[in-house]
A and B are shown apart, each in its own frame.
Chain A
Amino acid sequence: MEIIVCIKQVVAGDRVKIDPRTYSLVRSAESSHINPFDLFALDMAVQLRKKYAGSITALTMGPKISEEVLWEALSLGADRAILLSDPRCAASDTLATSYVLGMGIRKIGRFDLILCGMRTTDGDTGQVGPQLAEELNLPHIGNVEKVEGERGLLRIERLTDGFREILEVSLPALLTVSPRRTVRLASLIEIQDAFTRCSIESWNLEDLKADPAKAGISGSGTWVEGLTPLTQEKSCVLIEGDPRQQAKSLLKKLIERNLLS
């Protein structure tokens, strides 16, 4: 089975810095890491390859430093890694991102399955998977837990609102993978091997024969108009007195705040 896993480099939650003019994220190697949801997709790909053979290509669109997440994917078992990188892709929204990823996948050519994470920890729209399926005109199933079968039809299991849903889908298809599984770390030997065995291919818009007007800001249907940081005010109130009095005044405070009636 030929599998493509889409991987995004995200900015660590506590290190988010926003460019005050463009409202886009400021990235650095130190403050970025692989989108944790994409690790579940990669793990599913590795399990499928174990069972049905084939190969795994990790694909990301991003600036040069996104190479780091591709190295991580290679350490965790990807066979090939491709970086779609072009200054004209900067500030892409999900539509433009899906277009560029789609063009990358067209250039890769042969594939059976595309796996995406459910969402990301920074942009967090959850749109890229489904939009990419539309871009490539592929069937799409979200929140997938389990996959079986190889040729023709795949049997898919997913959990939705208390139901276990069993679906069948024809290949090629795109799945977004449920985060309900544990991810492992690459061992030192796996990391060392990735660096001796592999390299990263980098493609720009010309390589993709992509239309620059459909990428980056010009290809985006949405843009960020304004951004205001929210601060959460927390305060600590100490309740005095013996336990009985404390319980009484706690009850009173909870009722005052409409938390109990």
Chain B
Amino acid sequence: MDLTLSIQQRQIRRMARQFAKTELAPIAKEIDEEGRFPWEAVEKMGALNFFGMQAPRRYGGAELDSISYCLVIEEISRLCASMGLMLAVHNSVVVFPLNQFGSDEQKAKFLPPLASGEKIGAFCLTEPNAGSDAMAIESTAIRDGDSYIVNANKIFVTNGGVADTLIVFVSVNPEDVKKGFSAILVERGTPGFEVGLLENNCGMRANPVTSIVLTDCRVPRTNLLGREGDGFKVAMAALDTGRIGIAAQAVGIAQGALDVSLKYAKERIQFRVPLARHQAIQMMLADMGTMVEAARLLTLKAAHVRDQGGDLSGPSAMAKLFAGRTASKVASMGVQIHGGYGYSKDYPIERYFRDARVTEIYEGTNEIQQIVIARELLKGGED
């Protein structure tokens, strides 16, 4: 068992770290406060291939292994979680399923502009009455000649305000949602396509998470991803992979919270010594560091399983569950170390605290991960 990164993986991490430090750190606070999507940084991320990290070379992707992919997401999220989210969703729940389930024509048409960052992707599953229970969706796609007429009301769509290519989950059979559950590619600008309200979220505020409303949208039949009824398969494959990206994001947020807490603990003087000299603070820092490292190892293990072609569901659910909890816990301890200043917008730790929390919610809540993990454990035979 070799737990060291290769030189190549270290080079990739170094580059991502450098990029985050020079391009994202200076704007992270401002774009959070203004709820602004930083197009200037997005363009640079495109040039560095951050939008096609694992896509095939022939479509303009970089064909990274999953460990390198996690390292990039971690480094970006460490300084700007909103951009980490943007990239994680784009790469692992849009580009990946498109490449996995798309026809050659679909891949040739949609992948190159997505991989270059010229177009941004979104994944639309959640609806007002369908969150954890994906089968409760009410969105429909009804066959009409060579087209589907799509009606959908999707909420909490990450990248919603800026996305050009969206994977939308619908049922082609309103009588039997399960049987008709399907994924279809919808392009921004199709008549009937509307970006709805911006979600007023407490964190991830530089990401335009919105609702997407499709009203009698005519979408070519050739935009169906996989076959009719394949939607569940597509969604689950995307989410098994996506959860590794979210776990990496959570590790990055936790590491970032630890970074700023270490810095603060060395600077702030109370009782004539820096906080870091108080043993109670040291113990908090020790626990934070240990949790971050454990979450990182679990995440990289899941990435490794993915690269080896193993069964992902259990490892990725465990990584996401543990890393999400770690991010929340570590950010919360970070606030504690900062005292009153941790509750103030003058220090970055409050942003980590707000950003961390949602990693326990999206791409499957903690409870949904627990259901997946328990199912995997219970189905295992005895050794």
Question: Are A192's CB and B63's CB within 8 A?
Answer: yes
Question: Are B7's CB and A189's CB within 8 A?
Answer: no
Question: Are A72's CB and B48's CB within 8 A?
Answer: no
Give every chain B residue within 8 A of A33 (Cβ-Cβ): 14
A185 to chain B, nearest CB (A): 5
Query: A188 with B49: in contact, given A68-B11, A71-B7, A75-B11 (CB under 8 Å)?
Result: yes
B interface footprint on A159-202 (CB within 8 Å = 1, 0 otherwise)? 00000000000000000000000000111110110010000000
A interface footprint on B1-26 (CB within 8 Å = 1, 0 otherwise)? 00000011011101100110000000
CA distance A195 to B14 in the complex (A): 15
Which one of B7, B19, B72 lies within 8 Å of A68 (CB-CB)? B7
Question: Are B62's CB and A189's CB within 8 A?
Answer: yes
Interface centre among A33, A67, A188, A191 (most CB of B within 10 A): A188
Give every chain B residue within 8 A of A189 (Cβ-Cβ): 49, 57, 62
CA distance A198 to B299 in the complex (A): 30
Question: Are B48's CB and A68's CB within 8 A?
Answer: no
B186 to chain A, nearest CB (A): 28
B interface footprint on A53-91 (CB within 8 Å = 1, 0 otherwise)? 000000000000001100110010000000000000000
Query: Residue of A at shortest CB range from B68?
Result: A188
B148 at the interface (CB under 8 A from A): no
B96 at the interface (CB under 8 A from A): no
Give every chain B residue within 8 A of A250 (Cβ-Cβ): none
B53 at the interface (CB under 8 A from A): yes
Question: Are B50's CB and A188's CB within 8 A?
Answer: yes
Query: Residue of A at shortest CB range from B72?
Result: A188
CA distance A207 to B234 in the complex (A): 57
A153 at the interface (CB under 8 A from B): no
Give every chain A residue within 8 A of B11 (Cβ-Cβ): 68, 71-72, 75, 186, 191
Question: Are A188's CB and B7's CB within 8 A?
Answer: no
CA distance A191 to B15 in the complex (A): 9
CA distance A68 to B50 in the complex (A): 22
Question: Are B7's CB and A185's CB within 8 A?
Answer: no
B47 at the interface (CB under 8 A from A): yes
Give every chain B residue within 8 A of A191 (Cβ-Cβ): 8, 11-12, 15
CA distance A159 to B12 in the complex (A): 35
Give every chain B residue within 8 A of A67 (Cβ-Cβ): 7
Question: Are A186's CB and B15's CB within 8 A?
Answer: yes
A251 at the interface (CB under 8 A from B): no
Give every chain B residue within 8 A of A29 (Cβ-Cβ): 10
Query: A185 with B48: in contact, given A33-B14, A68-B10, A72-B11 (CB under 8 Å)?
Result: yes
B contact residues, total (Cβ < 8 Å): 20
A49 to chain B, nearest CB (A): 20
Question: Are A195's CB and B10's CB within 8 A?
Answer: no
Give every chain A residue within 8 A of B57 (Cβ-Cβ): 189
Give every chain A residue within 8 A of B18 (Cβ-Cβ): 185
Question: Are A187's CB and B8's CB within 8 A?
Answer: no
A186 to chain B, nearest CB (A): 6
Query: Residue of A at shortest CB range from B48?
Result: A187
Interface centre among B8, B11, B19 (most CB of A within 10 A): B11
B260 at the interface (CB under 8 A from A): no
Query: Residue of A at shortest CB range from B53?
Result: A188
Within 8 A of A (CB), among B339-365: none
Query: Residue of B at shortest CB range from A192?
Result: B62
Give every chain A residue within 8 A of B47 (Cβ-Cβ): 187
Interface centre among A29, A68, A192 (most CB of B within 10 A): A192
Give every chain A residue within 8 A of B31 (Cβ-Cβ): none
CA distance A75 to B49 in the complex (A): 14
Question: Are A192's CB and B15's CB within 8 A?
Answer: no
CA distance A29 to B8 in the complex (A): 12
Query: Residue of A at shortest CB range from B57?
Result: A189
Which one of A68, A186, A188 lies within 8 Å of B64 (CB-CB)? A188
A156 to chain B, nearest CB (A): 30
CA distance A33 to B11 in the complex (A): 10
Which one of B10, B14, B19, B64 lies within 8 Å of A192 (CB-CB)? B64
A207 to chain B, nearest CB (A): 22
A63 to chain B, nearest CB (A): 14
Give every chain A residue within 8 A of B15 (Cβ-Cβ): 75, 185-186, 188, 191
A interface footprint on B35-75 (CB within 8 Å = 1, 0 otherwise)? 00000000000011110010001000011100010001000
B44 to chain A, nearest CB (A): 9
CA distance A185 to B22 in the complex (A): 11
CA distance A81 to B18 in the complex (A): 23
Give every chain A residue within 8 A of B64 (Cβ-Cβ): 188, 192
CA distance A195 to B72 in the complex (A): 18
Question: Are B12's CB and A185's CB within 8 A?
Answer: no
A interface footprint on B273-300 (CB within 8 Å = 1, 0 otherwise)? 0000000000000000000000000000
CA distance A189 to B60 in the complex (A): 9
Question: Are B12's CB and A188's CB within 8 A?
Answer: yes
Give every chain B residue within 8 A of A72 (Cβ-Cβ): 11, 14
CA distance A32 to B339 in the complex (A): 34
Query: Residue of A at shortest CB range from B12?
Result: A191
Query: Residue of A at shortest CB range from B50?
Result: A188
Give every chain B residue within 8 A of A192 (Cβ-Cβ): 8, 62-64
Interface centre among B14, B19, B49 (most CB of A within 10 A): B14
Interface residues of B (CB under 8 A from A): 7-8, 10-12, 14-15, 18-19, 47-50, 53, 57, 62-64, 68, 72
Given contacts A188-B53, A188-B68, 6 further A-B contacts (CB under 8 A): A68-B7, A68-B10, A188-B49, A191-B11, A192-B63, A195-B7
A-B contact pairs, 5 of them (CB 8 A): A72-B11, A188-B62, A188-B68, A188-B72, A192-B63
Nearest 4 A-B pairs (CB), nearest first?
A188-B62, A188-B49, A187-B48, A195-B8
